[in-house]
Structure 1
């Protein structure tokens, strides 16, 4: 893969913030950067910090600033969607000595990719480049080798990275395209306009329904979509349970560590969530 020009580094997390972040995901401070350490951080993040869009239905702003993201994800023990989750995870990795770039991607809806900056993923450079992504809902449990063009089988399924253009790759899961990944590095501020659209437009699926989801210890998923609790086992077996308001609030506390005094109310009409959200 061609060498890329990396954006200049910015002031990162303090040692105290790093320790708090690692405590949030239940890990001690790792040793030097390595593929094994990166995989452990990635898997722990997916199992503790949920993919969620509750801020929209609660009327809270989504601010793409490392300080605001740390306050939300670590101090307040919330989750977020791709810009927030991968944006702050990049800061943690950099503070731990990893070389990280933010990459823009276009999530597929059927056979059509979405708009530029529709998704944010991470390139992590070690002896070889890796694709890390803790912000796409159902996806890989561990980082993927960015230079590998053959199948990569892991607990999340079989992934293949297919060249689309000189600076793009299509990321396929079990033969289905998930997103078209651009390979040019960006700054977090580059994602702000699309993030604003995702959180405000009635055409965005994020404004139509509330979701909160994380990976479970056994490799399945648990998702609260509106007031429907969905449990998916590692074998794909799925159960659903409709809850009342009190039950949904209790489920946020029990399964995601999120305490709310009211349920989020999406501003746009409800729509069926995309498969990666569950």
Structure 2
């Protein structure tokens, strides 16, 4: 947990959640949904060349005090801190993204992070991925696990890795042995600094809504509801872009970053 003053109640206020009375599956579902509906996935820091940190106090300051969001590693690390503060047994797992929304690819090894939470049975939790489930997934579950965000299946590879399939698409593969935050330093340094890594040149932002999700990819705003794309359009006007970004994600930008021309959302 670190040696700083981690205020669980302040974190719960940040996500609009009451302190659970019990450490159980129902409370975990509640906390995961509140987090995904309150703390956006966003890569603003990378676009502005202000590289983030996975260290406890810096993360707490960014997400709780400054009311920002973050990338997958930031969001899942922060959520793990909250869960540990509430008494949940949490293990960090390293993962590799295998689909970017348009086609299969081999993402950076350890470029993604997911959480294993031990309760009556082990659960998979992810609050930092565009195609993540809204509720925890049963690690021992077989067959489809239906969720407001789609249909999920978990498979184990011959080597013992965990694979997540969402709506028929293989999204990521994770190792099952525990990882420490320091294990992600090298891979994330590459993702946050390399000109070949898309996160340093393209803007992503996304937050869960009661009926689905609202995402921004560069200047393209896309809204999903009940699993279907509701609309998608390019925000060509700077004033509208800045207003929408602050309204949706709670982040005020001084100016629109220099972004690639994109016509398709995610």
Fold equivalence (TM over 0.5)? yes
After the TM superposition, which residues 8-157 of structure 1 pair with which residues of structure 2 at under 5 Å, given as runs?
10-11=1-2, 14=5, 17-109=7-99, 110-157=103-150
Distance 1:169 1:176 in 2: 14
1:6 equivalent in structure 2: none
After the TM superposition, which residues 209-220 of structure 1 pair with which residues of structure 2 at under 5 Å, given as runs?
209-218=202-211, 220=212
Distance 1:61 1:118 in 2: 15
Report if the CA contact (8 A) 1:209-1:271 is conserved. no
Q: How much does 1:166 deviate?
A: 4.0
Q: How much does 1:240 deviate?
A: 2.0
2:160 equivalent in structure 1: 167
Report if the CA contact (8 A) 1:53-1:80 is conserved. yes
Q: Which runs of 5+ in 1 are unaligned?
A: 1-9
Distance 2:123 2:15 in 1: 21
SS in 1 for 2:68: coil
CA deviations over 1:124-177 (Å, ceiling 9, x no partner): 001100000001122201110111122111111111111113430111011110
Q: How much does 1:11 deviate?
A: 3.1
Q: How much does 1:112 deviate?
A: 4.4
Distance 2:263 2:197 in 1: 12
Q: Which moved more, 1:255-264 or 1:29-38?
A: 255-264
Q: Which runs of 5+ in 2 are unaligned?
A: none
2:226 equivalent in structure 1: 234
Distance 1:242 1:38, change over 3 A: same
Report if the CA contact (8 A) 1:46-1:141 is conserved. yes
The alignment's C-alpha RMSD in Å is 1.9
Distance 1:38 1:169, change over 3 A: same
Q: How much does 1:50 deviate?
A: 0.5
Report if the CA contact (8 A) 1:12-1:94 is conserved. no
Distance 2:217 2:194 in 1: 19
Distance 1:34 1:67 in 2: 27
Distance 1:14 1:150 in 2: 42
Distance 2:55 2:254 in 1: 26
- Out of 194, 199, 211, which is 1:201 matched to? 194
> How many aligned positions are there?
262
SS in 2 for 1:183: coil
Higher relative contact order (CA 8 A, sep 6+): 1
